Amino acid sequence: YGDPSQKIDYVFKLVLIGDSGVGKSQILSRYARNEFSLDSKATIGVEFQTRTLVMDHKSVKAQIWDTAGQERAVTSAYYRGAVGAMLVYDVSRRQTFDHIPRWLEELRNHADKNIVIILVGNKSDLEDQRAISTEDAKGFAEKEGLFFLETSALNAVNVESAFSTVLTEIFNFVN
């Protein structure tokens, strides 16, 4: 870990998309640094974080891009070269789920046609405020051919699994 001489076999670019406030930055922070902040303020400008992992004796660098508060101004450059995407909504806010088809269309217009996509319902810890049932989201994901998981960046639930689902699928595709 952190060894600069480490040989990297693959770099996989992943993008996080979805409405502002759904928890994209906290999902990334949980995955890349195992950190969470309850009062995360929107950072300005596109940025990415990386995490290097070993898959089948190969080192894979996941380079994960975050819209960083620029959700309205995501451009095609953001999607360029992306092999995976995490489409995030907030299980406690109906509107963020209703916007998923728009994000999906944007993705299909700008990204590679083989991009691996996972639909992620974040903030699963807010069970008492749930506005979207697991079944509805799962049904939508199946219809659209997307992977699906509910996560909590706050409680570190399924964040690892969500990324590893996407990374494993990509890895198997290139191997």
Pick the closest to residue 116 from 138, 76, 146, 144 (CA basis): 146
Shortest spacing between CB 132 and ligand GDP, in angstroms: 14
The single residue among 64, 85, 154, 166 that binds ligand GDP, judged by CB under 6 A, is 154
Q: How far is the CB of 31 from Mg ion (least distance, A)?
A: 14
State the number of binding residues for ligand GDP (CB under 6 A): 19
- Report the C-alpha gap between 119 and 115 in whole angstroms: 13
Is the Cα torsion angle 133, 90, 38, 159 positive or negative in sign?
A: positive
- Of 17, 78, 104, 122, which one interacts with ligand GDP (CB under 6 A)? 122
Taking the least distance from each CB to Mg ion, the nearer of 24 and 93 is 24
Exactly one of 9, 47, 125, 144 binds ligand GDP (CB under 6 A); which one? 125
State the CB neighbour count (10 A cutoff) for residue 172.
11
Taking the complex as a whole, the smallest distance from the CB of residue 53 to ligand GDP amounts, in Å, to 22
Q: How far apart, in whole angstroms, are the C-alpha atoms of residue 107 and residue 100?
A: 10
